[in-house]
Amino acid sequence: MTTSAPRLAASLCERRASTPASTSSRVPARTRRGAPPRAGFGAAVPTARSAAVLDKHVPIDRYADGLRQLHASPDVFVVDDFLSADACADIIARAKAKGDMTQSPVVYAGWTNDVEAWTSTVSSGPAVWIGALAMLIGSAAFGQSGLGLLGEGVVGYLGAVGAAYAASLAYVKDKERELGDLRTSTSTALDGSGVGERELIRATERLLPGTSWTTYEAPTVIRYERGQKLAPHFDANRGAAVEDANRGGQTLVTLLVYLNDVDEVRGGGQTVFGRLGDLAVRPAKGRALVFFPANADGEFDDRVEHEGTEANEEKWIVRIWVHQNEVGGPPSGLPDDWNDERGVVAP
């Protein structure tokens, strides 16, 4: 299974070259097209939506054992002992046994906005001039007229638009290379067949009533070694309707569980929300952190930018993203039979 990486979404884009917002829409459920899961730095212009609208996230069981609210509007929760120590150990063991932990791929989320902006700017300005110039040259230098001349103009116009499209794709690739350095952890995705994963998926369904595993991305296990970090980013993507269409569209919930204890003073590796007064969550074995990258309608919430600060000790987490639509099976989602007791892999 391909590793699903966090969208190293957007603070970077926002600070450097903000890209226009896009809206999300629902995509057909349960597609099984199988494109690899991606990560990316999301487009993020400041949101125009009010807090009241963005706060309408998918429901969470506020009476769940161990649940504490760390921040309101936007809501951020932790749930202590969300996973048992055995489940944490099992998930780490399963990730190690897979033997394919690699630096997660990064895709520059928001690329659809960039490509669209470049192409539309060129098509409404320079391309028209290039087309007109081609017609002028065709007429003056080669004595063309009528349809032949029109053809010259069209070829010039389309050539300019095509060149803008190609240039924008190259820009996006470049951006991905540049941003890839800012996520140095390694990760792998599991298929739900281990006992720890099953405990995680079932506990997630209980904590988020109304959601079901069909909208969950396969659990992604992330390992930080000393010195590794995850730069500030968003987990949702304004271009999700297009860019994440093959994995359930917009990300509505991030639920991550710390799988080991990290020393409070020396360990580093906290999850920090820079826009919420540097709200910091410390890794503790079995503790879940839950927040909402977008509201229940899929509207991007730029208040929950967060980062994994540099780890001074090894840190393991497992993360489930809940999407707006059904994710489909592997590589992004869980196989239909993950829940089949006959297939359970014992620790």
Ligand X SMILES: O=C(O)CCC(=O)C(=O)O
- List contacts with ligand X (CB under 6 A): 6, 222, 230, 235, 256, 271, 306, 308, 317, 319
Whole-angstrom distance, CA of residue 26 vs CA of residue 16? 30
**Nearest distance from C-beta of residue 336 to ligand X, angstroms:** 26
**Nearest distance from C-beta of residue 41 to ligand X, angstroms:** 12
The HSE-up count of residue 4 (CA atoms within 13 Å, CB side) is 29
Whole-angstrom distance, CA of residue 283 vs CA of residue 261? 6
Minimum CB distance to ligand X smaller for 106 or for 256: 256
Whether 192 and 339 have beta carbons less than 8 Å apart is answered as yes
Residue 214 buriedness (CB in 10 A; 0-12 / 13-18 / 19+):
middle
Minimum CB distance to ligand X smaller for 194 or for 232: 232
Minimum CB distance to ligand X smaller for 230 or for 327: 230
**Nearest distance from C-beta of residue 244 to ligand X, angstroms:** 14
Write phi, then psi, for 291 (nearest 5 degrees).
Answer: -150, 180
Whole-angstrom distance, CA of residue 60 vs CA of residue 43? 27
Minimum CB distance to ligand X smaller for 285 or for 306: 306
User: Among residues 228, 256, 237, which one has the least CA distance to residue 107?
Assistant: 237
Minimum CB distance to ligand X smaller for 74 or for 308: 308
**Nearest distance from C-beta of residue 74 to ligand X, angstroms:** 15
**Nearest distance from C-beta of residue 166 to ligand X, angstroms:** 32
